[in-house]
Amino acid sequence: MTEDAIREILLSTRRIAVVGASAKPERPSFGVAAFLVERGYAVTPVNPGLAGQRIHGAEVAPGLEAAGPLDMVDVFRRSEEAGAVVDEAIRLGARTVWLQLGVRDDAAGERARAAGLRFVQDRCPVIEWRRLGLPGRIG
């Protein structure tokens, strides 16, 4: 994925579902979701165990389908669980799937790209945002 492609994804996306969101401040998904909210994204946390609770002001969805419509799906799950999330994102019409640092599934990436989705893996949007020197807020 080129720098220009990453920049375009981060600046054109508006709605992000964070799969594997946590209400624990020490968890990476909590900090990344907060960063995204602060940048102006509409973030929907997704975690069946926390459904109905609120994280960063947004109600936690029990599953990806309840989080739609989807621009981007940001995945905080183990690599072996990522493929199922990618397949659901494809089915639900997401534009981008982003697998967080340490999460890789090349076969799922091939399926996503074949379906016309943009696919990023083993990267963090916060790190990429800062590395690219993007503005304080989108839009």
Q: Tell whether 86 is covered by a domain.
A: yes
Its domain, for residue 82, covers 3-132
Q: Tell whether 105 is covered by a domain.
A: yes
The count of C-alpha atoms lying within 13 angstroms of the C-alpha of 18, restricted to the half-sphere facing its C-beta, is: 30
Residue 63 per-residue DSSP state = S
Reported as type and span, the H/E element at residue 87 is helix 79-92
- Could you read off the pLDDT of 46-55 as tens digits, one per residue? 999 999 999 9
Q: Tell whether 137 is covered by a domain.
A: no
Q: What is the CATH number of the domain that holds 14?
A: 3.40.50.720
- Could you read off the pLDDT of 12-61 as tens digits, one per residue? 999 999 999 999 999 999 999 999 999 999 999 999 999 999 999 999 99
Q: Tell whether 109 is covered by a domain.
A: yes
Q: Tell whether 26 is covered by a domain.
A: yes
According to the model, what pLDDT value does residue 65 have?
A: 95
Q: Tell whether 139 is covered by a domain.
A: no
Q: Tell whether 138 is covered by a domain.
A: no
Q: How far apart are the first and last CA of the chain?
A: 23
Q: Tell whether 39 is covered by a domain.
A: yes
In angstroms, the CA 58 to CA 51 distance is 11
**Closest by Cα among 72, 71, 47 to 61:** 47
In angstroms, the CA 91 to CA 113 distance is 13
Total domains in the fold of the chain: 1
Residues 6+ apart with CB under 8 A from 84: none
- Could you read off the pLDDT of 72-109 as tens digits, one per residue? 999 999 999 999 999 999 999 999 999 999 999 999 99
> Other C-beta atoms within 10 Å of 66: how many?
14
